[in-house]
Amino acid sequence: DAKTTQPPSMDCAEGRAANLPCNHSTISGNEYVYWYRQIHSQGPQYIIHGLKNNETNEMASLIITEDRKSSTLILPHATLRDTAVYYCIVRGGYYGGATNKLIFGTGTLLAVQP
Amino acid sequence: NAGVTQTPKFQVLKTGQSMTLQCAQDMNHEYMSWYRQDPGMGLRLIHYSVGAGITDQGEVPNGYNVSRSTTEDFPLRLLSAAPSQTSVYFCASSNTASDEKLFFGSGTQLSVL
């Protein structure tokens, strides 16, 4: 699976959009981009995933560049409860093995400021 | 619906002791896995299982054993605890091995003295 690079930390003002970048320049054609977050002392929580089209759900939007070498997770109106470590993960499609062997890096600590 | 339940939440062991971390899910998920989380290192996969009776090793399997005799339970055994195993342990499950959404438990904080 491709490696990802994220900034170690970011700040965002409450009520503003939080844009979290992720570089995955070695991503291959069948690899998906996943985002999870981990609020302090809790288990990680799934946010969103995508292959090449932009995706949106009730939690966030995912923008993937046309060359797929980078992506951005957008929290449209950040709240204090969104303060967490955000993990960007690249995972391949099903190849007969346990494809949920997600490899978590160190992520981005997003601090939402009041 | 309890989701993924881990017990105990906290545990202190002496070097050389053995213990089992329990993980149970009530969602009838086929896939279950164990991660450990150390400061500054993210989460690392220890072992995983794609179904009852089937287990395999992840990134850091040494010092840990697992079994999957039922769909619901996936215990993690430390046969002879070492200080290097001091960590927070998370169990996770998903509907199938190819499902995109992993559900995590709340974690077990283990200290080995």
State the pLDDT at residue B41: 77
| C-beta of residue B57 within 8 angstroms of C-beta of residue B49 | no
What dihedral do alpha carbons B30, B31, B32, B36 form, nearest 10°?
Answer: -170
Return all residues near A51 (Cβ < 8 A) that are at least 6 apart.
A32, A33, A64
Query: At A54, phi and psi to the nearest 5?
Result: -65, 145
Please confirm whether the linkage preceding A114 is cis (ω < 30° from 0): no
State the pLDDT at residue A93: 54
How close, in Å, is residue B112 to chain A by CA atoms? 19
pLDDT tens series, chain B, 113 aa: 679 999 999 999 999 999 999 999 999 999 999 999 998 778 888 999 999 999 999 889 999 999 999 999 999 999 999 999 999 999 999 988 777 689 999 999 999 99
Interface test with B, best of A55, A88, A95, A100 (most B CBs within 10 A): A100
Asked if pLDDT for residue A98 goes beyond 80, the answer is: no
A100 with B94: Cβ contact below 8 A: yes
Say if B41 is an interface residue toward chain A (CB within 8 Å): yes
Q: Which tokens sit at A94? A: 């099903």
Interface test with A, best of B102, B103, B109 (most A CBs within 10 A): B102
pLDDT digits (tens, 9 = 90+) for B43-60: 888 999 999 999 999 889
B106 with A106: Cβ contact below 8 A: no
Q: What is the mean pLDDT of residues A28-43?
A: 89
Using CB atoms, pick whichever of B98, B101, B106 lies closest to residue A94: B98
Interface test with A, best of B21, B56, B98, B108 (most A CBs within 10 A): B98
Q: What is the mean pLDDT of residues A65-73?
A: 95
Number of Cβ pairs < 8 A linking chain A and chain B: 63
A34 chain-B contacts, CB cut-off 8 A: 100
